[in-house]
Structure 1
Amino acid sequence: MLWDTENNHCSLIGSCNWFFSEFNRYEASVFIQDNDFSKEMIQISASLTTGAKLINNYLGSELLDLAQSIKPSSNQDNEKNINVSLLLKGHHLRYIHEAKKAEHRVTLLSDKISPNLHRSIWDSLSTCRVRVSAFYSTVDKEIFDHKQVQKFSNSIDNDKIALKLHSPPSGNHSHAKVLAWDKNHIVITSLNWMSSDSSGNYKNNDLYHELGIYLEADKIEQKFYSNFFNNLNHA
């Protein structure tokens, strides 16, 4: 989601499907108020209008004109000392490799889980020095069920990875896609970690098929962890 205010352009990137959601599930999103970032997002939106055959069109041209009209961000000091990176589809696996270096804890959230699991995710996380808490909410019942998930769970290193169904008392399951580790690191994204390929293999503008944000900020992982588990236990 993109919009403008009196002085800045804003972006909201995360897991919510705006045209489909009933806004009754646990979601995770990042709000960014920055003209340069919003300009890049509008340029990506223009690219997406070309479709799989990469055909230019009027809407794409309008979006590119809009992007060019946005003034650069002001050079103000970042008092909160936050590191922000935009992730395209092929960037996600890099952060799995970063998370496996964790020294405190790792939390992984995915809405969907499927048998088409990208093995390098689990192969990497199974080498973590700390235990990984991995939560899913839904399965493709035509090709997978919870018994098969349990069978898969038993096949991975349970001393390293705890694979669990997200089941809060409220019944409002998680739709969030999150990778968080070691107090100050979090990725919030549209990519379902446990059912999508994050290896970086893509064709044409499929590289924009998933978008995420990596944040490095003081105690941001701790804030997410507290919020998520409070929702899980007391919703």
Structure 2
Amino acid sequence: MNNIYIPAWHYRAPGIVQRTWGWSPVEEMILLSLDRSPGTINHVSETLKIPRQVVGSTVARLMQFGLVEVRLAPRPVLVTSSIGHDFIRTGRALPERSADREIGISVVYEKVGLSVFRTRDVDTIPVTKLPAKGAIIRFPEGEPPETNYSMMQRVNEFMVGMLRPGEWLRGVQANSSFLEARFLVLDLDEVGSGVFPQGASDQLVEALKATIKTGVLPKTTTPPPERPVSIQTRLSASDIVVGAEQHLQRFEQIVGAAKSNVFVLSTFVASQSDEQGRDRRDRIVRALEDACRRGVRCHLFFGTSLDRSKHAAAMQELYLRLSAVRQTRGFLLVQRDPVESHAKFLVADDGHDGAVVMMGSCNWLHSPFSAVEVSAELREPNAVAEGLDLLREIVSRLSSASRSVEALLFMASELRRQRNMLSTSEEAEAPAATLTILLAADHERLLRVAAHDAQQRFVCCTNKVGANMVPALFDPAEIAGRRLSDVRIYYSRRTGPVKRSHVTKHRERLHGIVDLTGVPEPQLHAKFLAWDADHVVVSSLNWGSQSGLEDNPLDEIGLYLEGPKLATSLLKTFERELE
């Protein structure tokens, strides 16, 4: 048989499919009738000319969702509850009914045309059973292997349109998944006759046709890198949080409202014996303790691989303190290995079928909360789903974080489904901002573009200035300063070989062009870029001391926000913190 062997990955996992139901006209009629005129099942049946049995079962469903209740005085009648009354008066959609079912997912992903096949539709063999010679395409050297995370992404795309009407894939159960490198086996005689497996990509088809024609084996394909994602969202100036106390308050509010999951990624973790800022940091721990008491799952991560054992020990101390609150088995998911990212996240459900994401400069599990911090808070479903995807990709590096990865996947899927089902009035609402996700290497490119494009002002705040401060920050600022009258750089600390005299020399050189301001107190831990009235980047990157690397895109995360007066408002609040 004339076979060709193509490198592939076999992925198998349980998938959770949810079916949702809306409400029928009969159910809405009965709800409206009881809102206008409370009564009995017989009364509703006679008024609406609907069989009594149908009214009875419908009322039972409405009561199950808290939309209808029994009022006992002055006589027992059925009546719309306050919840049902609110749904009617505000024009909101009634709460959906849903049911989950588990399905088996088994797919093969090949590396030439990047096709995804159902396993039952193709033949594969283990790597150990590959023939000694023949038409064999090898796995690409140096390319990282597929992961549970990357395969989950492909499964989500593959399953679109394959489910029953009203169903959607909530996600896969990563802790029960299986991933194996194999080889896809195709018969070139069948391919030459035009027989391809169902789901073969155009790229695979063309590559195989070329092989038959020329005898030259095709090459594997690397998926194209993802560029910064831009989405339309709703965001106001108050969603950019400035200040230490403000971050503490937001943490307490967000974690206090959570009912199911809280995720915290902090670059560092403070020891429980660390006295610096202990009282303020204790508010963070108490908020997590309260969440544990309520049965909220708390997923805790740290980012740095420097002093790894020190931060792992501090995370273990935090685990012991939180686990003392209640029996936390399954509810306290604490990672003692670093995710190797400088990004900082706070993520939680909002207790009302939504979620909130905060990203910025704050090290939630380490900060003494005495420095000026800046973070952006996202609540609009589309933007939050993007934030969840970022955090999921960061933490998926840890095999022990599979349950956290799964929870983030399910949350993002639910938010996107809700976003797609928004009412027409909500969709017609003009977006207040554009959000672009910046990965590590995107920061420097955008800063240089901003330095050339700014028309009114250019302001950057970095915690540190270091060895690369001139090419990374001072030079672009000088370009802006030769055109504009308001160009500022704020910093608090020096790092590496940089001494006070070095910065003083550049301050004198840039006098009248760039206002280079060192602020020792309060320390500026914030990392942001603001230009003109509407443009803001909130980031984890120290613009004046670090460079984002192409080969580690998730090491730094920034949010580029463009919306009315966002920069103006941020700078006004920031300047108040410095007074």
- The Cα of 1:96 is off from its aligned counterpart by 1.1
Equivalent residue number for residue 409 of structure 2: 67
Tell me the residue number matched to 1:139.
494
Match for residue 361 of structure 2 among 15, 21, 26: 15
- CA deviations 1:124-168 (Å, max 9, x no partner) are 22221214110101112x62222221123334x43321211024x
Cα pair 1:118 1:195 within 8 Å, conserved:
no
Does the 8 A contact of 2:383 with 2:435 survive in 1?
no
Q: Which runs of 4+ in 1 moved over 6 A?
A: none
Tell me the equivalent position of 1:29.
Answer: 375
* C-alpha separation in 1, matches of 2:384 and 2:566: 22
Aligned match of 1:88 in 416, 426, 439? 439
- Mind listing any 5+ residue stretches in structure 2 that lack a counterpart? 1-345
Matched, 1:213 2:556: no
Partner residue, 2:450: 99
Corresponding residue SS for 1:197? coil
Amino acid corresponding to residue 197 of structure 1 in structure 2? S
C-alpha displacement at 1:61, in angstroms?
Answer: 5.9
Letter in 1 for 2:517: K
Corresponding residue of 2:347: 2
Paired residue for 2:515? Answer: 162
Among residues 158, 182, 188, which one is paired with 2:538 in the alignment?
188
- Bigger drift between 41-50 and 5-14 goes to 41-50
Deviation at 1:118, TM superposition (A): 5.9
Q: In structure 2, the residue corresponding to 1:127 is in which secondary structure?
A: helix
Q: How far apart in 2 are the matches of 1:18 and 1:104?
A: 34
Shift of 1:220: 1.2
Q: Is structure 2 residue 547 aligned with structure 1 residue 202?
A: no
Offset at 1:86? 1.6
Match of 1:113 in 2: 465
Cα distance 1:23–1:177, how it changes in 2: closer, same or farther (>3 A)?
same
Distance between the aligned counterparts of 2:401 and 2:512, measured in 1? Answer: 51
Partner residue of 2:477? 125
Structure-1 separation of matches of 2:463 and 2:478: 20
Contact 1:26 1:175 survives alignment (8 Å):
yes
Work out the CA distance in 2 between the residues paired with 1:89 and 1:229: 27
Residue 57 (structure 1) aligned with residue 395 (structure 2)? no
Going from structure 1 to structure 2, the CA distance change for 1:65 and 1:211 (only over 3 Å counts) comes to same
Q: In the TM superposition, what whole-angstrom CA distance separates every residue of 1:27-65 from its partner, at most 9, and x where no partner exists?
A: 1110001333333333333332354xxxx6141464145
1:174 corresponds to: 524
Contact residue 87 and residue 213 of structure 1 kept, 8 A: yes
More helix by share: 2
Look up the equivalent residue of 1:59 and give its one-letter code. Answer: A
CA distance in 2 between counterparts of 1:189 and 1:145 reads: 25
What is the TM-score of this pair, normalised by structure 2?
0.36
Residue 81 of structure 1 and its aligned partner are, at CA, apart by 2.0
Check whether the contact 2:472–2:547 (CA below 8 A) recurs between aligned residues.
Answer: no
In 2, the alpha carbon distance for the partners of 1:60 and 1:139 equals: 39
Residue 30 of structure 1 aligns to a residue whose secondary structure is strand
Aligned-residue CA RMSD in angstroms? 2.2
Distance 2:407 2:358 in 1: 21
**Equivalent pair of 1:111/1:136 in contact (CA under 8 Å):** yes
Does the aligned pair in 1 maintain the 2:357–2:388 contact within 8 Å? Answer: no
Distance 1:120 1:111, change over 3 A: closer
Distance 1:7 1:110 in 2: 36
Find the aligned partners of 2:355 and 2:577 in 1 and give their Cα distance. 31
Tell me, what secondary structure is at the counterpart of 2:456? coil
Mean CA deviation greater in 73-82 or 2-11: 73-82
2:492–2:519 CA contact under 8 A, matched in 1: yes
Conserved 8 A contact 2:361-2:539: yes
Change over 3 Å in CA distance of 1:33–1:122 after alignment to 2: same
Q: Give the total of aligned pairs.
A: 220
In the alignment, the residues of structure 1 paired with residue 558 and residue 395 of structure 2 have an alpha-carbon distance, to the nearest angstrom, of 19
TM-score, normalization by structure 1: 0.83
| Separation of aligned partners in 2, 1:57 and 1:36 | 27
